[in-house]
C-alpha cells in the first residue's frame, strides 16, 4: 500500500462522505488518480461505496469481513485503554473478547505507543462490583436505536416484578455507579423515564423514526430516577417547613412542592424504591407526615429504629 493510498484510507475513516474533488484537493492529485486509488483499496478488501447526486461521493462502508483499520498513535492508545476498561466493565461475554483484541493490538503497537498505554493503564483501576451484568447484544441494539433515532419496544420488568412492553424514544445510554441505564421518552406515559438494562428481558428497534425533543439534564435525571427508584408510584408527604425552602433543598425535577399554609407544604414525587425515598426524606431533615403510600411510614419507622439502636461503642 502506497503512502498516498494510506492517506486516502485515513481520510475515508475520518469523515462519512467525501466528494471526488474534495479528496483530490486533500491528496493534491487528479480526480482520475483518486478513482484509481479507490479501486486499489477495493482490491484490498476495503468496501469503498460510491453514491451519485447531491450529497453523494465516496464513503467507507461495511463489508463481509473486517478489513484492517488505520489508527494514528493516539487513536491506538485510546483503543487499547478502552479495551482494558472493557475487560473489567461487567458487560457479559466481552471481557475475554476485549482481552483477545488487546493482545492482537499490543503485538503491533509501536514502542512509544505501548509505553504510553502502559503508563496510563497503571494509573487506572476498575474495582469489580456485584452489579448485574449487561448483555452486549442488548447494548448494541439500544445504542443503534439511539444513533438512528428510531423507536424501541422493550420488555421491561420493574422493581416490584411488574413486567410489560414499553414503547420508547431512546436518547442516551449511561453507566452510573456500576449499572447501565437507558434514558428515553416513554410514549405511553408521555414522560421521560430511566430504565435499568439488567431489568430488560428483550429489546427491538423499530423502523419508526422520531424527531428529537428538548431534553432535560440527562445525567441529573437518571441520577434522580436512581434515587427515587423508577418513578411509577405516587408519593405524597406533608413537611413542616415553608414550601420555598423545601423546594430549594429538594432539587428534584420530578418532585413538586405546594404550599399548605405559611409553614407547611405538600411534597409530591414518584418512586418504587421506598427505602431510598425514606433515606432521601431523612436527608432533608424535616419532620414529615406520610399521606401515601402507607408502606413509606414503615420504612421511615425502620430507619428511626436503626438510628436509635446505632451509636458509639460503649466501654464495659
Percent of the residues in the chain that have a pLDDT greater than 90, as a whole number: 18
Q: How far apart are CA 76 and CA 110, in angstroms?
A: 10
Say if residues 92 and 136 touch (Cβ distance below 8 Å).
yes
Question: How much is the average pLDDT of 90-100?
Answer: 62
Q: How confident is the model at residue 315 (pLDDT cuts 50, 70, 90)?
A: low
Q: How confident is the model at residue 205 (pLDDT cuts 50, 70, 90)?
A: very high
pLDDT tens digits, one per residue of 189-201: 888 988 988 889 9
State the pLDDT at residue 153. 95
Q: How far apart are CA 154 and CA 170, in angstroms?
A: 11
CB within 8 A of 18, min separation 6: which ones?
Answer: 11, 12, 26, 57, 58, 59
pLDDT tens digits, one per residue of 267-296: 887 766 778 788 888 888 888 899 988 888
pLDDT higher than 80, residue 81 = no
State the pLDDT at residue 138. 82
CB within 8 A of 202, min separation 6: which ones?
Answer: 154, 155
Q: How confident is the model at residue 65 (pLDDT cuts 50, 70, 90)?
A: low
Torsion 67-72-73-75 (CA) sign: negative
Q: How confident is the model at residue 87 (pLDDT cuts 50, 70, 90)?
A: low
pLDDT tens digits, one per residue of 215-231: 988 887 887 777 655 54
pLDDT tens digits, one per residue of 119-144: 766 666 665 555 556 676 787 788 88
Q: Which residues make beta-bridge pairs with 202?
A: 155
pLDDT tens digits, one per residue of 19-51: 989 999 999 999 999 999 899 888 887 888 888
pLDDT higher than 60, residue 9 = yes
State the pLDDT at residue 252. 60
Q: How far apart are CA 137 and CA 91, in angstroms?
A: 10
Q: How far apart are CA 304 and CA 225, in angstroms?
A: 24
For residues 304 and 121, which has the higher predicted lDDT (pLDDT)? 304
Whole-structure pTM over 0.95, yes or no? no
Q: How confident is the model at residue 243 (pLDDT cuts 50, 70, 90)?
A: confident
Amino acid at each position: 500500500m502506497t503512502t498516498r493510498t494510506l492517506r486516502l484510507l485515513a481520510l475515508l475513516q475520518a469523515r462519512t462522505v467525501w466528494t471526488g474533488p474534495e479528496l483530490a484537493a486533500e491528496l493534491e492529485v487528479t480526480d482520475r488518480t483518486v478513482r484509481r486509488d479507490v479501486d486499489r483499496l477495493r482490491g484490498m478488501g476495503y468496501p469503498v461505496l460510491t453514491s451519485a447526486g447531491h450529497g453523494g461521493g465516496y464513503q467507507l462502508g461495511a463489508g463481509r469481513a473486517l478489513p484492517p483499520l488505520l489508527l494514528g498513535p493516539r487513536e491506538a492508545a485510546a483503543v487499547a485503554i478502552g479495551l482494558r476498561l472493557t475487560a473489567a466493565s461487567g458487560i457479559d461475554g466481552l471481557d475475554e473478547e476485549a482481552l483477545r483484541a488487546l493482545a492482537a493490538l499490543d503485538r503491533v503497537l509501536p514502542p512509544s505507543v505501548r509505553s504510553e498505554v502502559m503508563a496510563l493503564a497503571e494509573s487506572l483501576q476498575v474495582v469489580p462490583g456485584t452489579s448485574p451484568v449487561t448483555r452486549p447484544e442488548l447494548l448494541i441494539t439500544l445504542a443503534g436505536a439511539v444513533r438512528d433515532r428510531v423507536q424501541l419496544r422493550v420488555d421491561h420488568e420493574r422493581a416490584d416484578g411488574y413486567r410489560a412492553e414499553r414503547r420508547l424514544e431512546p436518547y442516551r445510554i449511561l453507566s452510573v455507579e456500576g449499572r447501565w441505564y437507558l434514558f428515553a421518552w416513554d410514549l405511553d406515559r408521555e414522560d421521560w423515564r430511566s430504565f435499568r438494562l439488567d431489568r430488560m428481558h428483550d429489546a427491538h428497534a423499530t423502523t419508526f423514526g422520531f424527531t428529537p425533543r428538548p431534553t432535560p439534564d440527562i445525567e441529573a435525571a437518571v441520577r434522580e430516577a436512581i434515587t427515587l427508584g423508577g418513578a411509577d408510584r405516587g408519593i405524597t408527604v406533608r413537611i413542616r417547613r415553608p414550601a420555598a425552602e423545601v423546594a430549594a433543598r429538594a432539587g428534584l425535577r420530578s418532585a413538586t412542592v405546594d404550599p399548605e399554609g405559611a409553614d407547611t407544604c405538600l411534597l409530591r414525587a414518584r418512586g418504587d424504591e421506598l427505602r431510598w425515598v425514606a433515606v432521601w426524606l431523612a436527608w432533608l431533615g424535616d419532620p414529615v407526615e406520610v399521606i401515601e403510600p402507607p408502606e413509606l411510614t414503615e420504612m421511615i419507622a425502620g430507619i428511626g429504629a436503626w438510628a436509635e439502636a446505632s451509636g458509639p461503642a460503649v466501654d464495659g
